[in-house]
Structure 1
């Protein structure tokens, strides 16, 4: 039964989620890069270069096992998920920028995810037994099929039948929520005997990685002169990794439930931590607004 879920249902469900992402994207989302080149460039460099390096350092600093370290690197390579858009909306970020970053990351992930995972498999040499395998060429094609093709099809539907795409938006978002819960439950149930040990082993790493991702995603753009709303959007896009994608690729493409454990633990940690971070940013924004002099006061 588990093999049916991991090899058939999960890839199909994830394809639906990625198609739903495509339904929300238009060519204008990609063209918007030209209007915000600084924040897009900074965000992509942070997500694609800095965060995998940070994650690599965390795995060494906390002494993670090769399997958990490889799972953490898979998580670090995964782009931001649609949950980033929700958090950005709730905490006054630039949601349009989130959509743009998600669109670009969905394309780039086809190359970056296999590259980072292949490096992690080569470096950490995790013992996956008969349950896991490396990323052969056929597996790279599967990553392409699961990530990019559904997004492209969704965008095509949005372009040719915008009304139909709008009607599908709400049910697809519901499916996305169900899929995340399903993937987490499958990973947790499959490794339920060892879950306490896994959480003890990788929980701190997932928490530190989540906090660093959020902090770097906000403060680095701010330090480079990016506006507050755009920095908030960047923080959520960089900090809220697509745990669903990471877990599904681990259990299907890589054939190992154990590689999905870090992403499963991260998914349970990320929601409350990201919500608390967003609340802190909102409080800070309110404090800055209160401290700023009114136009009349500035004229005196």
Structure 2
């Protein structure tokens, strides 16, 4: 049962989520990078350079077991999740930038995710009998990622009304799929999770808060507009946990490796919501500060 879920269920689940992403994308979303290069470059530097470095530091600081350490690095290397669009909409971020960043970071992850994960496997050596990621399987996983996205984009291009009608149902299915996948990962490796629950919860919460904070503050320091900084923060703080879980279980054959992503996948929604309220209240306070009286 568990084996069939891993080999058949997880790729199908990821395919559904990627199809949903494709339904929200157009070719123009990739082209929009040229019209707002500063915001995109700032977000990508945070996601591809700062986040893996911060995660590596946290893993060393918390002294995680090797398997969970690699799982955290796999999570850090995964691109932004599609739910970032929803949070960006709730807290008045630039949704168009979210869509662009999701598209671009997902494409770049084809290269960076295997590189970062292989580095982590080489450094922490969690497997006695395995030499890193199996590249053929990596290609298979990204075929599962890219083909549904391409199909979704084609549907959006040629059947836009159908794509609009399907957007909400596919999003709902995606959330249900994430819940089922997380529950499966937790149930399959309950002992490892129970032994490291406190440590794992603490490092994932810390990493999520830092991801959201970096994603917001770095663009603001670079004078990127506030709505774009909000979009960037959610794009960087809300990872594609399902992708990390699928790679951990199907490519590397380790449910334990997917536990950090499973825990993060649950906690990130609550933390992101709290973060959104925080930056919204700060903005409201700034907007309502009374002007000095004229003399």
Deviation at 1:292, TM superposition (A): 6.4
> Cα distance, 1:4 vs. partner?
0.6
CA contact (8 A) 1:222 1:228 kept: yes
What's the secondary structure of 1:70's corresponding residue?
helix
Q: Give 1:268 shift.
A: 2.2
Give CA-to-partner distance per residue, 1:81-128, whole Å, 9 cap, x none. Answer: 011111111111111111110111121111111111111111110037
Q: Give the aligned partner of residue 271 of structure 1.
A: 269
For the 8 Å contact 2:69–2:124, the answer to whether it is kept is yes
Question: Match for residue 105 of structure 1?
Answer: 105
Matches of 2:250 and 2:134 in 1, distance apart? 13
2:214 paired with 1:216: yes
RMSD of aligned alpha carbons: 1.7
CA distance in 2, matches of 1:220, 1:178: 33
Instruction: State the TM-score, normalizing by the size of structure 1.
Output: 0.94
Q: Distance in 1 between matches of 2:21 and 2:279?
A: 26
CA displacement at 1:266 relative to structure 2: 1.2
Give the conservation status (yes or no) of the 8 Å contact 2:79–2:109: yes
8 Å contact kept, 1:29–1:99: yes
Q: Distance in 2 between matches of 1:249 and 1:133?
A: 15
Q: What is the aligned partner in structure 2 of residue 253 from structure 1?
A: 251
CA distance in 2, matches of 1:27, 1:237: 19
Measured after TM superposition, the shift of residue 60 of structure 1 is 0.5
The size of the alignment, in residue pairs, is: 295
CA distance in 2, matches of 1:269, 1:168: 27
User: Does the CA-based 8 Å contact 1:73-1:120 persist in structure 2?
Assistant: yes
1:91–1:190: structure 2 CA closer, same or farther, 3 Å change rule? same
Off by >3 Å, runs of 4+ in structure 1: none
Give the aligned partner of residue 93 of structure 1.
93
What is the CA deviation profile of residues 132-181 of structure 1, one whole-angstrom value per residue up to 9, with x for unaligned ones?
A: 77322211212321222221221112112212211211111111111110
1:110–1:147 Cα contact (<8 Å) kept:
no
In structure 2, the residue corresponding to 1:135 is in which secondary structure? coil
Q: Quick check: 1:288 aligned with 2:270?
A: no
104-113 or 192-201: bigger deviation: 192-201
Once the two structures are TM-superposed, the CA of residue 190 in structure 1 deviates from its matched residue by 0.4
Contact 1:133 1:254 in 2 (8 A): no
Partner of 2:195: 197
CA distance in 1 between partners of 2:50 and 2:188 (Å): 32
What corresponds to 1:233 in structure 2? 231
Residue 219 of structure 1 deviates from its aligned partner by 0.6
**Corresponding residue for residue 5 of structure 1:** 5
Deviates most, 70-79 or 243-252: 243-252
Gap regions ≥5 residues in structure 2: none
